[in-house]
Chains A and B, each alone.
Chain A
């Protein structure tokens, strides 16, 4: 029997649904294929490895409806409290999954950089996207990526031409605003850097209010030869939201990619990072920090595919859990038989501040080559009483001392964030989250 996802996602699966006819034959056929895939695959259960620790029940029970094409009454000043103070960036803003030019700041883009809304570009220049949509994610996709493809209508496109080097970060803000009824937004982002291009991308998921909604985003990213990208993802969705992110990365020869993931928001968040090396001597650095408190689940899945020799990858994720918070870290590094000289190191460390908090951590190395340097390690620990006492003996209250130690633990990841304006804001968000944390 092929169960279909709950009524929230059902509209996209009808062949005459809201997203049926785009006027682009190639796109319509990809969407039809994705719909068929979802229907054939059905809903994953916790018997499947990728969903072993994470139940979909609560998500699928929700009666989500697709986000309408409605424009937003928001004005630029409504956005102000959500900005990073002092951050200068080329800014592209989506509201409930739709590109809103009026809130974006895309004037004076430098030569070689193109940033815009996916729907617009599908209309004005579909050929620019024809090979890129599904180009990295592939034709066969897991459930949520396939749902995203089936419902695909808007998102952000960032294209850098060969050799273009952009100093100023490109900031993608995905803003969710509560509606009368729970909505699903399914933005599709396409980022491509041609050979030798360099850029910095800041992807932020924010909300106005604490509404219940679902973001099911997919980002396809490809780096050409020797391209360099620093990618920072800051997830601060509403405390009632569901956040799903599927990242598909293809790293060309000699390219360097760093992704700093910060997961603070949402009640249920699942992030899948899929990395495929497309050329030799590429470097991939995945850093992550997550916090989970009561009624909160943070789930990170990493799948790093070293299919070619001479590439390196780092996976370094840290979690702080309190109350009844739950986290899942499932990191897989695969090294193919011919991928000699692979250098991979994976680490997942967790700090549990309460007895009710829980983490399932599962790092896996699958190594089929013999000349490689690979390591992995995980820890799950508590605050060291000695350290706590040291701080308290200096007059620092126990709650502040705990917070300082947690921030110290998180510091390694926070320090990866650039520029300082972003780092400071996130550090403050982490600090205030910890301040609210009920610590035994």
Chain B
């Protein structure tokens, strides 16, 4: 589904991603862990097409297409979704209106008919329940004045509505209380299917108790330096990242 080969990317003159390789198969859940500043969010942003990064090498193929060639909206149409580490506030932009525009843009791009207002509302009500979100959030501007946890849940709510093929969750678990963490995990698990894949960027083993990953990767200094099964996460929890760096140097 997603194939990243030797990806190198700069911010300004600074190289952040330094030859990164990653293969994600259909239906798989991959966790990416790694120290602060190692390039996890940068990877997520480069994949979703944010401005400000220069790709200097390597390739990314998603669903058979050269992902790096596409505008951000075209990537979303292909089925890519990023849950932001820091969701952006959009004052004045109504949440419901926004989601409907997003869903219908994606449906249209796929040649599906747009959803009418009634079906859309029904869909929203259903997903709200799954994520235990209050429907007052729908009437408010996107993320505007939302608490940290509400913003994160709103990201997962959007994901639930848009039903992407590949969701990248950038530290969606950070700042969530224990109940919210379980709710978010339920939301992600509800989306899991043999067709859909997930990349979980996280610092904490706890999330992986709820969403069992198939693979765990360690991203450090712009590269994947270690990959393994979910036991790798436990090992990291125990020993930190130091031993990996040491191992690499040796």
Interface centre among A384, A387, A394, A400 (most CB of B within 10 A): A394
Does A411 sit at the interface, judged by CB under 8 A?
yes
Does A396 sit at the interface, judged by CB under 8 A?
yes
Do most interface residues of chain A lie in helix, strand or loop, or is the interface mixed?
helix
The answer to whether B105 touches A397 (Cβ under 8 A) is yes
Interface centre among A385, A389, A393, A404 (most CB of B within 10 A): A393
- Taking a contact as CB atoms closer than 8 A, the residue among A391, A392, A394, A397 that contacts B162 in the complex is A394
Distance A405 CA – B92 CA, assembled complex (angstroms): 8
**A395-B84 contact, Cβ under 8 Å, with A389-B50, A400-B105, A404-B101:** no
The answer to whether B98 touches A404 (Cβ under 8 A) is yes
> Which B residues lie within 8 Å of A394 (CB)?
76, 81, 98, 102, 105, 158, 162
Q: Which residues of B contact A (CB under 8 A)?
A: 48-52, 71-73, 75-77, 81-82, 84, 87-88, 90-93, 97-98, 101-103, 105-106, 109, 141, 158, 162
The answer to whether A395 touches B105 (Cβ under 8 A) is yes
**A393-B48 contact, Cβ under 8 Å, with A398-B71, A400-B105, A404-B98:** yes
Interface centre among B91, B106, B162 (most CB of A within 10 A): B91
Q: Which 6 A-B pairs have the closest CB atoms?
A: A408-B92, A395-B76, A411-B92, A394-B102, A408-B93, A392-B72
**A390-B88 contact, Cβ under 8 Å, with A395-B106, A397-B105, A404-B98:** yes
The answer to whether A395 touches B73 (Cβ under 8 A) is yes
Question: What's the nearest-Cβ distance from chain B to residue A416, in Å?
Answer: 13
Given contacts A393-B49, A394-B76, 6 further A-B contacts (CB under 8 A): A386-B88, A394-B102, A395-B77, A407-B93, A408-B93, A412-B92
The answer to whether B90 touches A396 (Cβ under 8 A) is no
- Taking a contact as CB atoms closer than 8 A, the residue among B91, B101, B141, B162 that contacts A400 in the complex is B101
Distance A404 CA – B162 CA, assembled complex (angstroms): 19
Interface centre among A385, A392, A398, A411 (most CB of B within 10 A): A392
Distance A386 CA – B77 CA, assembled complex (angstroms): 19
- Minimal Cβ-Cβ distance residue in A for B105: A395
The answer to whether A393 touches B82 (Cβ under 8 A) is yes
6 A–B pairs (Cβ distance < 8 Å), ordered by A? A389-B49, A393-B49, A393-B72, A394-B102, A404-B90, A411-B141
The answer to whether B49 touches A395 (Cβ under 8 A) is no
> Which B residues lie within 8 Å of A389 (CB)?
49-51, 72, 88
